Every structure is written in C-alpha cells, then in structure tokens.
Chains A and B, each alone.
Chain A
Amino acid sequence: MTALLDVRDLVTVFPGDGKDLRAVDEVSFQVARGEVLGLVGESGSGKSVTGFSIMGLVDQPGRVASGTILFDGEDLAKADLETRRSLRGRRIAMVFQDPMMTLNPVLRIGTQMTETLHAHETLSRQAARARARDALGLVGIPSPEERLDAYPHEFSGGMRQRVAIAIALLHRPDLIIADEPTTALDVTIQAQIISEFQRLTEEQGTAVIWITHDLAIVSGLADRIAVMYGGRIVETGTISEVLEHPRHPYTRGLIRSVPSENTRGTRLAQIPGVTPSLGRMPAGCAFRSRCERADGTCAERPGRFGGARAYHRCFHPHEEALA
C-alpha cells in the first residue's frame, strides 16, 4: 500500500540569531488513505509548523529547507505555487486552533464557504450556495439556510469551529490537517465536535492528521501516533504499540503525566525541566537536557531505529512494556 502522504526528512527553518533555527527537524512520517495520525507534543515542539509545511503556508521568513512531501506521489516541496494552491482546500484541507480568528469578520459565512467552492470548481452561485448550506447542515448547524447570511460574530466559538470544519469538508478532501481544533472550546463542546468530526471523516474516508498536546484525545481517535519533541519525531507507531510499549523516555514521561483512573489521588509524574527554546536545543539528542537515561552517547544525534511507519529516536530505549 503506498501512503497518501509520505513526508521524508522534512526540515523547516526560521531565521534567527544569525543562523537558521530548525522548527521542524528531519521529520518523517506516513499517512495512509483514511488513516488518522495523531501528532502529539508539548507547546513549541513543531506540530503546527509541520502542518503548515505540508500546506505550503509556513510564515515568512520561515521556509521548508529540505526534505520531500510526497502527496499522492507528487512532491509538494518542489511543486509550483499554482499546483499547491489548487490542492489546498480541495484535496488537503486544514482546520485551525482558534475558531475565533479563522473566519474573516467582515464577510458573511455563505461568502466564505462559496468562495472556497468557486476557487476550485466552475459552478453556479445557486449551486455553490446549496452545497454550502448542505455542508452547514452536515456539521449540525441549525437552520443553515439563514445562517449562510450571518457574520462570524453572530456565532459561538463552537459553532464557528463547525463552520470551519464544514469549509474543510466542502470538497471531500483526501486529507485534513486538524490543528488542535478543539483546545479553545469548553469540554462538552469539545467532545461533541470531536465525535462529529470523527463520524464525518470516517464516512468520507478522509485521512486526518490530528495535532494536539492531549494524549487522551489522540488515544480515542487515532490509528497511529507520532510524538514530537524539539522539532523531531522521537517516536511513532500504532496507537497500541506506542501507548502500551513506549520506547522513548519522552513518550513515557508524556504518558505518565496524563491523569487516568489508576493515577487518581496520586501525584502525576511530570517530566522535569522545561522545553528549551529553539536556539538552545542541545546538540545530539534534543531531549538530553531533561532525560534521566542520558549519557555520553546521547551527544550524538540519534537516528531512526525501526521502519518508516514505526520507529523511535533513542540510544537507550525502554524495552519493557508500561506498567
């Protein structure tokens, strides 16, 4: 089975302090058709930048410095601007973290939906409007016909995120990158939106990269998981593999810090220390400054141990399953 998305050794840099800082550092992963990949990591680990790199939307003056982004066999990193534009929104869509900021405040919801259709298809205004209305209905927005004429400020945060999801689903894309789409919402709305998102993408056979710092969300949602630290994927594999048998010390720390039934009442084990900023990442293994297993070997950069779909980057991996 060839992967829908095959990212290899992706490096995305931002200029700073006279040299390029790697926000994404030799990241490799694959997503098969219809598969859900959870991309997990602390704040600043490079999850969003990875997503934007795939979209071709890295903020200036940042850029994808090297690596390949094979989407359905075509290398996006080398594709021209028009090719990338025509893929965006049509075959690869994205939902952003903050629903309060993603919709244009001065344009009607209907306009923001139909313009997405007109950007990729030739169709009449009526047809576009009908499709927009149906999409709104699909994500559970009541009286969608009237809501098309409303402005974003007339919607709650949860409703806005539904609109953004409806926009992402308009063209039945092959891949949706969902960048923490529920973190800005309150918990009950979160659960609703996650389950609806899950249902819709499953129905449409859409592959999803679900970006989050919340392991609990991913464990219920994803087929596979990739854990990021300091711009690198330090461990990836199927959900059960990684969660039951984490090899990388960082993955282990992350799992231990999630509250669960059997940790109730006990102190959660937090990973000591804080993530260094990009400019201060240690050479060799980026996790070295916080790792209890670190030794001299770790001053070297750990390579990928394992295959393309399941690997870790640690010289002293845990062999035993998680207690």
Chain B
Amino acid sequence: MMTTLIRRAIQAGFVVFAMTLIVFVGVNVIGNPVDILINPDLNQAERLRVVQNLGLDQPLWRQYLSFLHGLSQGNFGDSFVYSKPALDVIVERLPATLELALCAMVIAIVVGLPLGLYAGLYPERLSSRLIMTGSILGFSLPTFWVGLMFILLFAVQLGWLPSNGRGETAEFLGARWSFLTGDGLAHLVLPALNLALFKTSLILRLTRAGVQEVVMQDFVKFARAKGLREGRIVLVHILKNLMIPVVTIIGLEFGSLIAFSVVTESIFGWPGMGKLIIDSINLLDRPVIVAYLMMMVVLFVSLNFIIDICYTLLDPRVRLDGKG
C-alpha cells in the first residue's frame, strides 16, 4: 500500500512537471504582455528598463529555467499587475471560489442523489418523469442565462436575495468566508444555486442510470429473497454499489467547479479565482496565469488521487497495488 502511494506520488510529480512546460510555453504563445502592460508614452530606454525588470528580455528557455528555479522555492514570480507574488494574489481569492464550489457541490449531492435514487427505483411514477424532465432543463439551459434569470427574478423582481458580491465575511482559519455570516450566506445562495443546477442534473441522471442497472442484478433479487427490508436493500445493497461511479463524478466535477466557475462568478460579481483569471488573461499577467493553471493541475491530480483511494474503500475488488 505504502509503496503504491509513493509510486503514485512520483507519477503525479511527473505529470505536474510536464504541465509546467506546457503551461509556460502555452502562455508565452498567447501574446506579448509588454504591449499591454507598458504605457505607450514611455520612451525606448524606459521601456527597456521595464522589460528587463520583468525578465522578459531573456530567451524563453532561460525564462523557463528561472521560473522553475522560483517554483522550487514555492515562488511563481510577481504579478505584473498587482506587483506582489502571483501565488498570494490567487490564494487571496481562493476562499471565495472554494466556498462557492463547495456549496454548489453539497446542493448537487443533497438534491441530485436522492432524486436520482427515487427516479431510478420508481421510473414509472409521474413524479419520476417530472424529475427527469426537470433534469433535462437543468442539463441544457445555459448557466449564464439561468444566472441572469435568477437575478431578474429573485433580486430584481422579488428583491429576496442580493445578487452581487460576497456580502459580509468573517475570518476563519486565516481566511475570510461568506458562509459564516447571515448576510454572506444570503449572497451565496443565488450563485451557488446557479452553479449547482447543472451538477445536480448530472448527478441525478447518473444516479438514476446506476440504480436502474443495479436493481436488475441478481444480488438485489437475492437480498429480497433473504427477506431484507426495502430500506436496507436500497440504502446498503443498491447505494453502496452506486457510490463507485457517483464518487468519480463528484470528484471530477468538484474540480471543474473550482476551475471553471468563471461564468457564474462574473455574473454575480463574485470575487473568486474565475474572475481573477479572466482579468489576468486580458492583461496577459503571465505569472498569475501560470500560477493559476499550475494550481489547477495540482488540484486535478490530487482529486484523482483521492478518487483512487475512495475506490479502494468502496470496492473491495480494487486494490491500489493490483492492476485494477
């Protein structure tokens, strides 16, 4: 077990290293930050000084090496725009995105899993058909449109909920969080629901498909033949088999919530990483883009790692050291 964990960690390290190269080269290809960052009124000598300060006069491989060197000390370089370490700029925004993604994921699981279970167990009921129709809507309506509708309805028309910013925040674990204050929580509702809608539909449909496959299995019939109560059959025999695909999706979707919450964050003026990265791309703030992308690589690698570990906990047939 231990040796496999170490082997996995080395593999992960290799993936991350390969990604540094891809990300670094990729970011260099999309444009020259000098054109955007430097005041066009400056004269030639002044321009040169700025370029040298930013290290942009060096050849690409040298820039990459010094980037790697910085990286080995946990340093992504300073943001061109904010003039402070790129990592700090991102980490400041992390709690906002994290709590939004977490809330959305919790909603998606709490709503999607039971509804999917119900629709899978009783597919012929009218309520199940309604649930499935609803999930198609949640699946196909564009997130930005739903977000705008939410704002129109709940913020503008009804005036029930705020629709811009994080509201009041409170400090916890050295970061500021909205969910700890009533006002912050109210601000969280609409963007979280907006983000959750698609994920809910996804988990719901996946769960339903899983249930329909599992209930056909002989072992469910055998569980009934043993005289088990329906509750135990559903909650233990069916659900435990279902969790394997569901956990995979939850893990990967959680990553994508963090990485791609751009649209929702923009619509609701949520000062998270999604908004930051859009701004950084517009300004070609290379260190921030690179740091952000690297963080996402690490995030997905870690999530995959966690999913693998979950597998071994959920499915006795899978062993980390096996071929699996």
Contact = CB atoms under 8 A, between A and B. Distances in A.
Interface of A: 55, 57, 85-90, 93-94, 96, 98, 101-107, 115-116, 119-120, 151, 153, 164, 167
8 contacts: A55-B225, A57-B224, A57-B225, A85-B228, A96-B222, A98-B218, A107-B237, A119-B228
B316 A119 contact: no
B219 A102 contact: yes
Contacts of B62: none
Interface string B213-235: 00001110111111111001000
A57 B216 CA distance: 12
Given A57-B221, A151-B317, A105 B241 contact: yes
Given A106-B316, A119-B228, 11 more contacts: A57-B224, A85-B227, A86-B227, A87-B227, A89-B225, A89-B227, A101-B217, A103-B222, A105-B219, A115-B228, A116-B226
Contact of B236 (A102, A107, A116): A107
A85 B229 contact: yes
Contact of A101 (B219, B228, B229, B240): B219
Contacts of A107: 236-237, 240
B92 interface: no
Q: How large is the interface on B (under 10, 10 to 19, 20 to 34, 35 or more residues)?
A: 20 to 34
B235 to A, nearest CB: 12
Nearest to A177: B225
B225 A94 contact: yes
A88 B224 CA distance: 8
Contacts of B219: 101-105
Contact of B222 (A85, A119, A164): A164
A85 B228 CA distance: 7
Contacts of A151: 316-317
Top 3 closest pairs, chain A to chain B, by CB: A89-B227, A101-B218, A88-B227
B97 to A, nearest CB: 34
A119 B232 contact: yes
A38 B173 CA distance: 71
Nearest to A111: B236
B223 to A, nearest CB: 7
Given A57-B221, A105-B219, A115 B226 contact: yes
